[in-house]
Amino acid sequence: MFVIGERINGMFTDVKKAIESGDEEPIRDLASRQVEAGADALDLNVGPSRGDEVENLVWLAEVAGDETDVPLCLDTAKFEVMSEAIKECDSPVIINSTKAIEEQLEKYVSLASEHDAQLIALTIDQEGVPSDVDSRVQMGATIATKAMEGGLGMEDLYIDPVILPVNVAPKQPQRVLEALRQLTMLSDPAPNFILGLSNVSQGCKERSLLNAGYVTMAVSAGLNAAIMDALDDHLMRAAITADVLMEKQLYCDDYVSAYLRNR
C-alpha cells in the first residue's frame, strides 16, 4: 500500500510552532522518521498556523524536500494557494484535494496535468459527504471521467470515498467498503483508491486499534493508498500484513522488515 504520512500538519502543536517560528528541525525530524517508518510520501498541511498560507506551505515543502526524496502531498482546500505553492515545489507533487464538483474538478485536473502532478479527489459534492454507496460510486465515475477528459491518467488519480468517524456515523465504515468494491470496477486500468484513514477513529478512545482494523478491511476491498500515521508501528504492520494476505506482497517469515527494506 502507498502510505502518505499525515504528521506534518499545523493542527499538531509542534508543527504549528515550527511553522510560526521558522524552526526547521521539528519538520526535518518528522519527515525523516516517517519515511524511515515506511511512508512513501508526506502530507503537508499548514493547518491554523499564522502567516501567509502560500509562504508557509512552500516553506514546509522546501524543508521536507531537502530532508527526503519522497513525493510531497500539498494539502489545502484553497485552489489559489495550491496553484501558487505548486509552482515553487521541486519535489514530485500530489495535489490534495478536489471535490467531485465538475467545475472544480476541471480546474484541478488541469493544474495536475500542467505540473505533472498526481491528484486526490474526494467523493463530496455541493451537498457534502454522501451517506449512501450509490452516490459515492456516481461521484467516483464523474471524477474518473473528468480526469480522462483532462488528460490525467488513472495511475495519477486517487479517489477518496471519504470515511467518517465511526462513533458518530456507525454505518459509514461498511458503506465505504462497499463503495470501494464497486469503484474498483470503474475502469481498466482502475484509478488508485485512498482514505484519510485516521478520520475513522476521530474522537474515539482506541484510535490505533480502530485504524489498524479498518485498514486491513479496506485493503481487502480495494484500497491501495492511505493518508495515515506512519509512526504508529502497529498500524503500519497491519497495513503491510493486509498487503501480504491479499497477495500484493510476497510472504516471507520476516515480511515486515522485507517490505520496509524494499519499498
Output the tens digit of pLDDT for each of the chain's 263 residues: 999 999 999 999 999 999 999 999 999 999 999 999 999 999 999 999 999 999 999 999 999 999 999 999 999 999 999 999 999 999 999 999 999 999 999 999 999 999 999 999 999 999 999 999 999 999 999 999 999 999 999 999 999 999 999 999 999 999 999 999 999 998 899 999 999 999 999 999 999 999 999 999 999 999 999 999 999 999 999 999 999 999 999 999 999 999 888 87
Residues 33, 258 contacting (CB under 8 angstroms): no
Q: Which amino acid is at 240?
A: I
Model confidence, pTM? 0.97
Question: Cα separation of 2 and 30, whole Å?
Answer: 18
Question: Cα separation of 170 and 213, whole Å?
Answer: 15
Question: Cα separation of 167 and 172, whole Å?
Answer: 10
| pLDDT score for 261 | 83
Residues 235, 226 contacting (CB under 8 angstroms): no
Q: What is the DSSP string of 111-150?
A: HHHHTT-EEEEES-BTTBS-SSHHHHHHHHHHHHHHHHHT
Burial class (CB in 10 A: 0-12, 13-18, 19+), 251: exposed
| Residue labelled with grid coordinates 485493503 | 219
| pLDDT score for 262 | 80
Residues 152, 114 contacting (CB under 8 angstroms): no
Residues 224, 193 contacting (CB under 8 angstroms): yes
Beta bridge partners, 41, equal 4
Beta bridge partners, 4, equal 41, 227
Residue 180's alpha-carbon distances to 98, 131, 166, in angstroms, are 18, 14, 17
Question: Cα separation of 145 and 106, whole Å?
Answer: 10
| pLDDT score for 190 | 94
| pLDDT score for 103 | 96
Q: Which amino acid is at 154?
A: M
Residues 231, 31 contacting (CB under 8 angstroms): no
Alpha helices in the chain (DSSP H): 13-21, 24-37, 53-67, 79-85, 102-114, 133-149, 172-183, 207-221, 233-245, 255-262
| pLDDT score for 263 | 72
| pLDDT score for 28 | 98
